[in-house]
């Protein structure tokens, strides 16, 4: 059984760049970062600018383990990493899991981002308690004796790794950001990967009209979300990775019809906390 301490927290919900528009504050200004807080560790999905907010609220003397799972290596999913305070204190064991995408080890992307002239420091500035782990999508990661993470590739420029988290033998969360519906089976693959998870966080950047001029950008549209929602009526689906240029009111307008039709769909909001027990 899941513990009452299992909470899902959205620290960043935007895609592309952090938004500075206060009209976007309800659904979030920071880029991709979600926390699954369980009894013995913080499981972090992506290290966009939202991870700095996670680190900022951390108790300074906390020794609770942190596991960071990176989906892919576009900068909006990595830019918060050198601003995450626990990576420098040395108080907490931190593991950063990097998928091998397009045949390239992820550590090369980290070293490219964290180096002059792109950034003033390198990863050698992190505390000795920070360790990087490479894996190939399709492998299962063991975070603890009772927490397993299944991984799988999904279509996105440069590829993207999706994660399905299982606790005590129960699938509780599936996270897929970013993804584009590029093949005949893409959405069916999402549905199959989700299996019996109770919650799904998924890219929903564009409307069906907008996607016509954004082919190859690597994202889903609301029609894709409707297809998934219909196939997974018992799964709570969070629409995620909101376009930087969309205000809260525009997201509401775009999503109104979908939300009225499917009660298992909601819009991810920055700082929202969901109890999974």
Instruction: Name all contacts of 127-131 with Cβ < 8 Å and 24+ positions apart.
Output: 127/87, 127/88, 127/89, 127/90, 127/94, 128/90, 129/90, 129/91, 129/92, 129/93, 129/94, 130/87, 130/94, 130/96, 131/93, 131/94, 131/95, 131/96
pLDDT in tens, 204-249: 999 999 999 999 999 999 999 999 999 999 999 999 999 999 999 9
Domain-embedded: residue 140: yes
Domain-embedded: residue 239: yes
Half-sphere exposure (Cβ direction) of 249: Cα atoms closer than 13 Å:
3
Phi, psi values for residue 17, rounded to 5°: -150, 155
- In CATH, what number is assigned to the domain containing residue 250? 3.60.15.10
The boundaries of the domain holding residue 109 are: 7-275
pLDDT in tens, 14-63: 999 999 888 999 999 999 999 999 989 999 999 999 999 999 999 888 99
Domain-embedded: residue 66: yes
Domain-embedded: residue 100: yes
> Predicted confidence band at 158 (pLDDT cuts at 50, 70, 90)?
very high
H or E stretch at 150: strand 147-154
Domain-embedded: residue 1: no
User: How many domains does one find in the chain?
Assistant: 1
Domain-embedded: residue 2: no
**Average pLDDT estimate for 67-87:** 97
The pLDDT score that the predictor gives to residue 3 is 43
Token couple for 168: 């005590």
Domain-embedded: residue 159: yes
- Cis geometry, peptide bond prior to residue 117 (ω within 30 degrees of 0): yes
Domain-embedded: residue 91: yes
| Eight-class DSSP state of 139 | B
């Amino acid at each position: 059984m899941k513990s009452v301490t299992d909470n899902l927290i959205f620290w960043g919900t935007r895609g592309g760049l952090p938004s500075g528009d206060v009209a976007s504050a309800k659904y979030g200004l920071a880029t991709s970062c979600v926390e699954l807080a369980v009894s013995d560790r913080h499981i972090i999905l992506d290290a966009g600018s939202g991870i700095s907010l996670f680190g900022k609220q951390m108790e300074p003397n906390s020794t609770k383990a942190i596991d960071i799972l990176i989906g892919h290596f576009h900068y909006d999913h990595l830019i918060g990493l050198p601003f995450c305070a626990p990576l420098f204190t040395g108080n907490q064991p931190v593991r950063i899991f990097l998928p091998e995408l397009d045949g390239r080890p992820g550590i090369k992307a980290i070293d490219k981002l964290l180096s002059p002239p792109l950034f003033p420091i390198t990863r050698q500035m992190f505390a000795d308690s920070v360790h990087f782990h490479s894996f190939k999508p399709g492998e299962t990661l063991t975070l603890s004796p009772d927490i397993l993470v299944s991984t799988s590739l999904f279509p996105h420029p440069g590829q993207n790794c999706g994660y399905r988290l299982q606790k005590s033998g129960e699938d509780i969360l599936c996270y897929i950001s970013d993804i584009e519906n590029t093949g005949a089976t893409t959405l069916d693959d999402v549905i199959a990967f989700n299996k019996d998870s109770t919650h799904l966080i998924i890219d929903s950047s564009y409307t069906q009209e907008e996607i016509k001029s954004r082919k190859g950008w690597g994202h889903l549209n609301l029609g894709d979300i409707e297809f998934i929602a219909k196939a997974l009526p018992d799964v709570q689906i969070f629409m995620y990775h909101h376009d930087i240029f969309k205000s809260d009111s525009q997201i509401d307008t775009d999503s109104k019809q979908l939300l009225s039709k499917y009660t298992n769909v909601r819009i991810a909001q920055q700082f929202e906390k969901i109890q999974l027990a």
